[in-house]
Amino acid sequence: MTELSKTGAAVGEPTSGRQAPEAFLEVRDLKVHFPTDDGVVKSVDGVSFSLEKGQTLAIVGESGSGKSVTSLAIMGLHRLGTRGKNVRMSGEIWLDGKELVNAAPDEVRKLRGREMAMIFQDPLSAMHPYYKIGDQIVEAYRVHHDVSKKVARKRAIEMLDRVGIPEPAKRVDGYPHEFSGGMRQRAMIAMALVNNPELLIADEPTTALDVTVQAQILDLIRDLQKEFGSAVIMITHDLGVVAEIADDVLVMYGGRCVERGPAGEVFEQPQHPYTWGLLGSMPRIDRETSERLIPVKGSPPSLINVPSGCAFNPRCPYADIPKGNVTRTVRPELEQVSTGHWSACHLSAEDRQRIWTEEIAPKL
């Protein structure tokens, strides 16, 4: 995430856009709004980041924080389906030199599955129940490759083998419901990687799986990433996963980025009270079982009526520390804390440092 400082500075300067960046994937001030009868749902409200090949970015947040919509927007999937008919979207998404927000839908479609692929949370519902696993992989391959079914089938078996499914030549003719959860997710990964995509987005790929299988799947993704050299966006609410796999972390809250930076730094020196909350609620093997988890109190904000000021202020135990009610009136902007590490919080650096070292870190 070496480019972050550069691109981060570009936020709020739209005139400097429209120029292909050097990063493999660059997202600039992305906004995805869904007008509804009750008001505009601001699912994503100004998010920027970039990502290089071979790197892994973890986007972390609660459900409804906008992390999934961000990934769907990159894939161009947010505007398909009944909900996407009147979506409003702005900003820029650059993938390998091509801008996707303003590209023709069919252009984006041709990139989907080939240059960028996605793994979904629940492989059982994400795979068509009526088609054989192999046929679904074959279909994914043949959209982008003009080959015979036979060739595609060979490729499907090869991919199943690659993701560690035993007896792939046999399982290729199995149906999704005949696979175990882990095997299904492996198949899903095989399907996503069948076209050697350069960007792989994994949307909570391990949530639906049990813990031992989770680790296997993460290992698999990491191995495959090494092998294919793809960029990976890992969407998760589980910081354990982040610690395991991510190079960089982006923490989202209420449709906006509240903190981002290199994984090690975010874990060692988290800057945002929300990040603290996330860390506090993370189960750890090295933690003593008697110690209770510290959950983030309250519920995620409404995306229609986002709280004024800092969106996190109703849940933030430190909201009253900054003077002049600023947390409730002024929206904090991302500020660089250290190289590549950004945070959006009204607390002063001193206060943050004090709270972190005195109150939070000892409990973790």
Partner 1 sequence: MISYILRRTFAAVILLLVVSAVTFAIFFLLPRLAGQTADQLAQQYIGKAPSKADIAAVKHNLGLDQPVYVQYWHFIKGIVAGADYSIGPTTVHCDAPCFGYSFKNHQAVWPELTSRLPITLSLAVGAAVLWLVSGVIAGVISALKPRSVLDRAFMGIALTGVSLPMFFTGNLAILLFRYQWPIFGSEYVPLTENPSQWANTLFPAWCSLALLYSAIYARLTRSGMLETMNEDFIRTARAKGLREGTVITRHGLRAALTPIITVFGMDIGLLLGGAVITESVFSLHGIGQYAVQGITDNDLPKILGVTLLAAFFVVIANLVVDVLYAAADPRVRLS
Query: By the criterion CB under 8 A, which residues form the site for partner 1?
Result: 75, 77, 80-82, 109-114, 117-118, 120, 122, 125-130, 132, 139-140, 143-144, 175, 177, 191-192
Record the tokens describing residue 258, joined without a space.
């509240």
124, 134, 335 from 179: Cα distances, Å: 9, 12, 47
Record the tokens describing residue 362, joined without a space.
């000892």
Pair 215, 247: CB distance under 8 Å: no
Q: By C-beta, is 120 or 274 nearer to partner 1?
A: 120
Q: By C-beta, is 77 or 151 nearer to partner 1?
A: 77
Q: By C-beta, is 112 or 346 nearer to partner 1?
A: 112
Q: Please return the burial class of 79, using the count of CB atoms within 10 Å of its CB with bins 0-12, 13-18 and 19+.
A: middle
CB of 205 to partner 1, least distance (A): 13
CB of 344 to partner 1, least distance (A): 31
CB of 122 to partner 1, least distance (A): 6
CB of 227 to partner 1, least distance (A): 21
Q: By C-beta, is 10 or 44 nearer to partner 1?
A: 44
The CB density around residue 281, as the number of other CB atoms within 10 Å, is 13
Q: By C-beta, is 209 or 258 nearer to partner 1?
A: 209
CB of 137 to partner 1, least distance (A): 10
Instruction: Name the one residue in this structure whose structure tokens are 């986002």.
Output: 306
Q: By C-beta, is 176 or 301 nearer to partner 1?
A: 176
Look at the chain and count its residues.
364
Q: By C-beta, is 125 or 299 nearer to partner 1?
A: 125
CB of 175 to partner 1, least distance (A): 4
Instruction: Name the one residue in this structure whose structure tokens are 């089938």.
Output: 153
Pair 48, 66: CB distance under 8 Å: no
The span from the CA of 116 to the CA of 167, in Å, is 28
| Backbone φ/ψ region at 160: left (φ over 0), alpha (ψ -120 to 50), beta | alpha
Q: By C-beta, is 141 or 356 nearer to partner 1?
A: 141
Q: By C-beta, is 133 or 258 nearer to partner 1?
A: 133
CB of 233 to partner 1, least distance (A): 13
Residues contacting 141, CB < 8 A, separation 6+: 147, 152, 155, 156, 194, 195
- Residue 25 one-letter amino acid: L
Residues contacting 120, CB < 8 A, separation 6+: 126, 188, 203, 205
CB of 125 to partner 1, least distance (A): 4
CB of 285 to partner 1, least distance (A): 31
Element housing 135 (H / E): helix 133-144
The span from the CA of 210 to the CA of 20, in Å, is 42
151, 183, 293 from 211: Cα distances, Å: 36, 14, 18
